[in-house]
Amino acid sequence: MAAAPSPEKDLIPVTILTGFLGAGKTTLLNRILTEQHGERIAVIENEFGEAGVDNEILVEDREEQIVEMNNGCLCCTVRGDLVRILGDLGKKRRRGELRFDRVVIETTGLANPGPVAQTFFMDEGIHGEYLLDAVITVVDAKHGQRALDEHDEARAQVGFADRILLSKTDLVAEDEVADLMGRLRDMNPRAHQKKVHFGETDIREILDIRGFNLNAALEIDPAFLEDTHHHHDDDVKSFVWKDARPLHMEKIETFLSLMVQNYGEDLLRYKGVLNIQGEPRRMIFQGVHMLMGGTPGKPWGPGEARESVMVFIGRRIPRRLFEEGLAYCVA
C-alpha cells in the first residue's frame, strides 16, 4: 500500500459538496460566496450562479470563469476538465495572481462523486498540491426518501459521504426525519449526520472534516454499530468488521488487493485501522473504488487494547466472503 507523498500541512484542502437535485447545495454555496466568514475559499461550480454577476471577473474563456467575490472568495465556473482547472488555480496561486486557502467543489445533483474523489488519488500533479479533506452530502429531508428509492446516484452520494447535512427538516414530521436518518445510518455508519438550516449553519461544519486523513485514527460512533430499524432494501450498504487478534501483514495485503481487483467498482468507500502482528504502530488504510492507500499511524499505547476495525460501504458487498477472507488474515 502506497504512502501519502507530501506533508499535509503544505497541501490545499479540498471539500467535495454533493447532494441530489434540490437538496440545498446552491443555498449553501451562496452563503460561502457572500458571507463575511473570514475564509478565502475557491468554489468550483458546474454552473455559474447569480451570486457573482456583479463582481469582478478575473479570468474568462470558453472553459472557465473565475470571479472574485466581495468577501474575498473565488467562484470558478467549470465546463471543462477538473484536473485542468485545479492545475490552473494552483499555478495562479503560486504566481500570486489568485489568493485562496482551500477549495470547495460542487458536483451536479445527478453525479456520482466517486470520479471526482478519484482525481485526488490518480493524478500526480493534483495529488502533490491538493489534499482531499472530505465528501459532504446534502440530503433533502422532504424528498430524500424518494430520491434514495429511485436514483442510484443519490444512494452513491450517501455512500461516499464523510458528513451528511440534512436540510428541510422543518418541513417534515420528526418521525419521518428519524426514519430517514436511520436509513442513512444503515447505508453509511461512518458519516456523521447533522440537521442544518443553511441560514444559520456555520460553514465550518463542512471544513476540516479530515475524512481522508490517513494519519488519523478511525473514529466510529458506537451508536452506529447498533442495529437500525428500517424498511428499505438499498443496494448501498455498509458493515463493520472488528477483531482483537493481530493480522498477518502479507495476508492482509493480499486480501485487500484481491478485494479491490474483484469488487473495486462496487466499493464506494472503505477505511480501517489494522493491528498488524509485530508492528508497534497501527496501520491506517482507506480507498475509493479501485484506488487504495495506507500509511503507519500512531503507536499503540502501553496497555491499550489493540484491535482492527474496518468499515466497508458499497453496492452488493459479499459480506460473508469478506469476513471469511479477513478471518484468514489473522496471524
d(CA 36, CA 49): 18
Place of cell 441560514: 199
pLDDT interval class at 324 (50, 70, 90): very high
pLDDT digits (tens, 9 = 90+) for 277-287: 999 998 888 78
pLDDT digits (tens, 9 = 90+) for 128-164: 899 889 999 999 898 889 888 888 888 888 988 889 9
Identify the helix (H) or strand (E) that includes residue 121.
helix 114-122
327 pLDDT more than 90: yes
Identify the helix (H) or strand (E) that includes residue 49.
none
pLDDT digits (tens, 9 = 90+) for 80-122: 577 888 888 899 899 998 888 889 888 877 777 887 887 887 7
Task: Kindly tell me the burial class for residue 191, based on how many C-beta atoms sit within 10 Å of its own C-beta (0-12, 13-18, 19 or more).
Answer: buried
d(CA 64, CA 113): 20
d(CA 234, CA 283): 31
Phi and psi at 67, nearest 5°, equal: -120, 135
d(CA 238, CA 261): 19
Best CA proximity match to 311, nearest among 182, 219, 231, 195: 219
Place of cell 504566481: 95
- How high is the pLDDT of residue 177? 93
Identify the helix (H) or strand (E) that includes residue 209.
none
- How high is the pLDDT of residue 230? 43
Quickly list DSSP for 92-114. HHHTTS---SEEEEEPPTT--SH
d(CA 191, CA 185): 8
Q: What residue ranges define each of the domains in the chain, with the CATH number in brackets?
A: 8-206 (3.40.50.300), 235-328 (3.30.1220.10)
pTM value is 0.71
Quickly list DSSP for 263-304. HGGGEEEEEEEE-BTT-SEEEEEEEETTEEEEEEEEEPPTTP
Torsion angle in degrees (nearest 10) through CA of 133, 266, 183, 146: 100
Identity of residue 169: T
d(CA 39, CA 1): 35
Give the chain's length.
331
pLDDT digits (tens, 9 = 90+) for 30-79: 777 777 778 888 888 754 333 333 334 444 444 445 666 556 666 666 55
d(CA 239, CA 205): 26
- How high is the pLDDT of residue 182? 92
Task: Kindly tell me the burial class for residue 66, based on how many C-beta atoms sit within 10 Å of its own C-beta (0-12, 13-18, 19 or more).
Answer: buried
